[in-house]
Structure 1
Amino acid sequence: MKEISVMEVQQALEQGQAINLIDVREVDEVESGHIPGIIHIPLGLLEFRMHELNKNEPYVMVCRSGGRSGNAAQFLESQGFDVSNMVGGMLAWNGEVK
């Protein structure tokens, strides 16, 4: 599984790069603070909503600490998607939060 650091994600966003961030936390967690521009798909629904994703685009998985997003990344990778896990999750995030 590929990993990406919080700093790498933050720098890419600050440079205006388009990044497909998928936040797999629960609704209440996302409502309490998330990275602007995320796609919200709770981990439990990922299997049922992966048809909304494009296998030709890379995705970065995000959760609270990196565990659930790691599971999500492994699952999507097994389905043929190009995914990376954001190590440390929102606990390590120092960038903009909405």
Structure 2
Amino acid sequence: MKEILVEQVQQRILVGETVHLLDVREVDEVQQGHIPGILHIPLGLLEFRMHELDKNTPYIIVCRSGARSGRATAFLQEQGYDVTNMVGGMLAWQDAMEQEEVQ
């Protein structure tokens, strides 16, 4: 399984690189704070909504600590998606977060 550190994700965003972030936390967790521009699909709905993802797009998978995103990464990788787990999750995130409704 591919992994990326929070600091590496933050650096990519800082330099203006397009990153596709998939947050697999629950709705209430995401509403409390999320990385701007995320796509939100709770882990429990992922198998039913994975058709919303593009197999040609690399995604960085995000959760609270890295455990759920690890499960999501393994599942999506088995389905043929290009996915990377963000180690440390939102607990390690130090940059700006939004607190609003997300998709």
Cα distance in 1, alignment partners of residues 9 and 86 from structure 2: 8
In the other structure, the counterpart of 1:19 is 19
Number of residue equivalences:
98
Gaps of 5+ in 1: none
Query: How far does the alpha carbon of each residue in 1:22-64 deviate from its partner, in whole angstroms, 9 at most, with x for none?
Result: 0000000000000000000000000000000000010000000
CA-atom RMSD in angstroms: 0.4
User: Partner residue of 1:66?
Assistant: 66
Instruction: Report deviation, 1:95.
Output: 1.1
| Aligned-residue identity in percent | 67
1:2-81, aligned counterparts within 5 Å?
2-81=2-81
| 1:36-93 deviation digits (Å, cap 9, x = unpaired) | 0000000000000000000001000000000000000000000000000000000000
Q: Secondary structure at the match of 1:10?
A: helix
Which residue is 1:85 aligned to? 85
Q: Using structure 2 for the length normalisation, give the TM-score.
A: 0.94
Report deviation, 1:96: 1.2
Q: Which runs of 5+ in 2 are unaligned?
A: 99-103
